[in-house]
Amino acid sequence: MSCPRIEVDLSKIRRNTQTLVKRLGPCGVGVTGVTKAVCGHPAIAQAMLDGGAVGLADARISNVQRLRAAGMTGPITLIRSPMLSQADQVVQSCEESYNTEILVISALAAAAIRNGSVHGIVLMVEMGDLRDGISPENLADVAKQVVQLSGVALKGIGANFACLNGLGPTALQMATFCDLANEIESKCGPILKVVSGGNSANLPWALGERATGRVNDLRLGEAILLGVEPVSGDRIGGMHADAFTLVAEVIETGAKPMPSPSARIDPTTERLRIVKTGAASARMILAMGYQDTDIPGLSMPVGSTLIGATSDHLVIGTPRTPPKVGSEVRFQMNYTALMHAMAAPDIEVEFMCNPHTQPTRHSQGKIDTLALV
């Protein structure tokens, strides 16, 4: 088997989806599986659907096109506001898209008319993350403009949390969001099919004691893929946190002396070191670096220490005898490391639950448990 590679257990992704669908169902909330961290990999998307996700969502049209090319015909939503230059592609590949700009929505309407279809519009509302979204006081006016356009249909509203500012939603924010859905329908009619309250960061709120109100959808990626709640980093009780494993090969072992200060030409070199080694130490060098993944997002093997990394080398210190050259070392990844590794061109993906599946060339640190019951 080639290295570096990502080993994926599709059965764990399917079971994670099933667990969340089962827990959110009594709250009246459906699960939309988000595939952006895995670059729209069709097999992983199918595992989400097999686990009960009502649809798929991605942030990039290239990932959606990959899903369509693999024969996936179910509903797929573009959850990043479409680029104006890609309006035709969005209409051709996606049933719905999340939007914030009336100029883009008008372009989607024109593209849909050319395509002989009607494209669904979900308006993203700014609820405190300070990334993308329409101001709540302007939402109703934008909604009225959308319903007057031919070629598009207003399907819902969406909110986002914990992406830019790292803060999860409060009960007050969610209540305000639900009130906005009611306000739009009071002015435009009962037309909102989707009231998407947010992402994996909303799980503590959705599964808490308060009612979820108008919210009937969550867009879940990190929770399904890694079994964790993104704000705290805690593992969700009953979920698998090891569906993905990154495997790298050892290319050198031995000890290295501490470099003398006079040997350092570039002062930035010291800042790149994760751990300062005061003397010669046993270490191993792996054929993987920052060009492949987000190194700080890797969980080191037990007893080992991350010394540092460059673009294509990973240096790990170990108190024991290092593995032999040619051996493999396995890592768990956080969400950022997973995103980078899945997009890296030199990392292959292997599915461990099906030994007949061929590798696809495409290309946690915390173990506390968050009991969401």
**How confident is the model over 87-100, as pLDDT tens digits?**
999 999 999 999 99
Confidence at residue 372, expressed as pLDDT on a 0 to 100 scale: 43
Confidence at residue 265, expressed as pLDDT on a 0 to 100 scale: 55
Question: Residue 236 — very low, low, confident or very high, per pLDDT cuts 50/70/90?
Answer: very high
**How many CB atoms are closer than 10 A to CB 12?**
21
Scan for tokens 């308006």, then name that residue: 123
Residue 110 pLDDT > 80: yes
Q: Domain 245-366, what fold?
A: Lyase, Ornithine Decarboxylase; Chain A, domain 1 (2.40.37)
Confidence at residue 166, expressed as pLDDT on a 0 to 100 scale: 87
Strands (E) across 113-192 are located at 119-125, 152-159
- Where does residue 301 fall: left (phi above 0), alpha (psi -120 to 50 degrees), or beta otherwise? beta
User: CB neighbours of 52 closer than 8 A, spacing ≥ 6?
Assistant: 17, 18, 21, 22, 31
Report d(CA 349, CA 202) in Å as an integer: 30
Question: Residue 224 — very low, low, confident or very high, per pLDDT cuts 50/70/90?
Answer: very high
Question: Residue 279 — very low, low, confident or very high, per pLDDT cuts 50/70/90?
Answer: very low
The pTM assigned to this predicted structure is 0.90
Share the mean pLDDT of the chain: 90
Residue 174 pLDDT > 50: yes
Residues facing 333 on adjacent strands: 298
Residue 76 pLDDT > 90: yes
Report d(CA 234, CA 313) in Å as an integer: 29
Residue 315 pLDDT > 60: yes
CATH number of 8-236: 3.20.20.10
In terms of Cβ atoms closer than 10 Å to its own Cβ (0-12, 13-18, 19+), residue 206 is buried
Residue 157 pLDDT > 80: yes
Tell me the mean pLDDT in the region 262-269: 54
Rounded to the nearest 10 degrees, how much is the dihedral formed by the CA atoms of 147, 149, 151, 155? -20
Chain-centre distance of CA 261, in angstroms? Answer: 41
Residues facing 350 on adjacent strands: 7
In terms of Cβ atoms closer than 10 Å to its own Cβ (0-12, 13-18, 19+), residue 229 is buried
Helices within 158-265 (DSSP H only): 171-188, 203-206, 222-226
Chain-centre distance of CA 282, in angstroms? Answer: 36
Report d(CA 47, CA 38) in Å as an integer: 12
% residues pLDDT > 70 (the chain) = 88
Confidence at residue 260, expressed as pLDDT on a 0 to 100 scale: 61
Confidence at residue 320, expressed as pLDDT on a 0 to 100 scale: 80
Confidence at residue 273, expressed as pLDDT on a 0 to 100 scale: 52
**How confident is the model over 111-150, as pLDDT tens digits?**
999 999 999 999 999 999 999 999 999 999 999 999 999 9
Question: Residue 361 — very low, low, confident or very high, per pLDDT cuts 50/70/90?
Answer: very low
Instruction: Please state the domain extents for the chain.
Output: 8-236, 245-366
Q: Positive or negative, the Cα torsion across 167, 170, 172, 176?
A: positive
Q: Which of 63-77, 95-109, 350-364 has the lowest mean pLDDT?
A: 350-364
Report d(CA 24, CA 213) in Å as an integer: 13
Residues facing 370 on adjacent strands: 236
Tell me the mean pLDDT in the region 307-330: 93
User: CB neighbours of 170 closer than 8 A, spacing ≥ 6?
Assistant: none
Tell me the mean pLDDT in the region 200-220: 96
Residues 143, 154 contacting (CB under 8 angstroms): yes
**How many CB atoms are closer than 10 A to CB 258?**
12
Residue 362 pLDDT > 90: no
Mapped to the 3 state alphabet, what secondary structure does 225-251 carry? HHCECCCCCCEECCCCCCCEEEEEEEE
Residue 364 pLDDT > 50: no
